[in-house]
């Protein structure tokens, strides 16, 4: 199982909170490595989140939720 963290976007405060703006996949969906899965925002900076590995994704955070940078937002159960 691979965790997908909220990426660090604020260099001044690496544990600052951000918002998970949008999921581009559904819970339980199959994803491929490097597939775009979410968009996150910290202050006025946004970033795309891609799947680090292929497998089945389990979403841990709802859209519009406030999340600390570095915290897991999803887990991917890797394909065999």
Query: Mapping DSSP to helix (H, G, I), strand (E, B) and coil, where does residue 58 land?
Result: strand
State the pLDDT confidence band at 14, using cuts at 50, 70 and 90. low
pLDDT digits (tens, 9 = 90+) for 27-39: 999 999 999 999 9
- The pTM score is 0.86
The pLDDT of residue 15 is 64
Residue 5, strand partner residues: 72
Please determine, for residue 13, whether its predicted confidence score (pLDDT) is greater than 80.
Answer: no
Pair 23, 37: CB distance under 8 Å:
yes
| Domains of the chain, each with CATH number or no CATH | 2-78 (2.40.50.100)
């Amino acid at each position: 199982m691979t965790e997908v963290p909220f990426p660090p976007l604020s260099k001044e405060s690496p544990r600052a909170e951000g918002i998970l703006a949008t999921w581009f996949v559904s819970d339980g969906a199959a994803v491929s490595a490097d597939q775009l899965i979410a968009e996150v925002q910290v202050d006025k900076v946004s970033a795309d989140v891609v799947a680090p590995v292929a497998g089945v994704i389990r979403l841990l955070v709802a859209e519009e939720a406030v999340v600390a940078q570095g915290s897991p937002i999803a887990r991917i159960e890797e394909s065999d």
